Amino acid sequence: MAKHRAPDGASTDFEAATTALEDLTGMYTIDVAHTRIGIRARHAMVTTVRGAFTDFTGEASLQPVDPSASSVAIRIRTASIETGNADRDAHLRSADFLDVETHPEMVFRSTAVEQVDDDVFAVTGDLTIKDVTRPVTVEFTLTGSARDPFGNMRVGFEGALAIQRSAWGLTWNTPLDTGGVLISDRIQVEFDVSAIRNGQVYRPETLVGDV
């Protein structure tokens, strides 16, 4: 298949990911500066609003020989939601939605990991939002691994999760005169994760200006 070309003739595709190294066993910490936890929802039944959480932490234990022994945990500060609109962000942080004053964190903790393809892993776990905990499953694709110029062993994963926000008590909405509602109940959560194996030399101050 031919690749789409940018106006200047350059390919719009990324370069090929690094090949996964054979031994990725170890404990990893999510590199927040190079990780995105995004959300998107339908607005007024006609368009998609996108945003992201900017303050979070996460750890993972990767066991490639026995993927079922792997685990992951992520904690997200709810007040860090950003959609590019201050009024909308304030509403999302209010008691109508995330109620960040009462519930400052969202938490995901895995309960099972299953390898479903060469580079695809189904991670099942408990997602807690506003003190409501429900099981979810996210399919993560291993996008590559590499040792960066600073000696850090990095591994990358991408995944997405669709949830019904009302199942976690996020029920605020308003009907439209033309039918439907202002905000979709279905929310897409997107993960683009870069994680660093613990014990490596990680010097964030050297990454100033890094992209």
pLDDT of 108-156, one tens digit each?
999 999 999 989 999 999 999 999 999 999 999 999 998 888 888 999 9
Report the 10 Å Cβ neighbour count for 78: 21
| In contact, 183 and 173? CB cutoff 8 Å | yes
| d(C-alpha 4, C-alpha 6), whole Å | 7
Out of 15-29, 35-49, 56-70, the most confident range is 56-70
Residue 43 has pLDDT above 80, yes or no: no
Binned at pLDDT 50, 70 and 90, residue 21 comes out as low
Report the 10 Å Cβ neighbour count for 28: 22
| In contact, 143 and 137? CB cutoff 8 Å | no
| Region for 180 from its dihedrals, namely left if φ exceeds 0, alpha if ψ lies in -120 to 50, beta otherwise | left
* pLDDT confidence of residue 108: 97
Q: What is the mean pLDDT of residues 38-48?
A: 81
Can you give the pTM of this predicted structure?
A: 0.83
The CATH class for the domain spanning 26-199 reads: mainly beta
What percentage of the chain carries pLDDT values higher than 90? 63
CA 146 to chain centre: 20
Nearest C-alpha neighbor of 163 from the set 196, 130, 134: 134
| In contact, 112 and 79? CB cutoff 8 Å | no
| In contact, 173 and 165? CB cutoff 8 Å | no
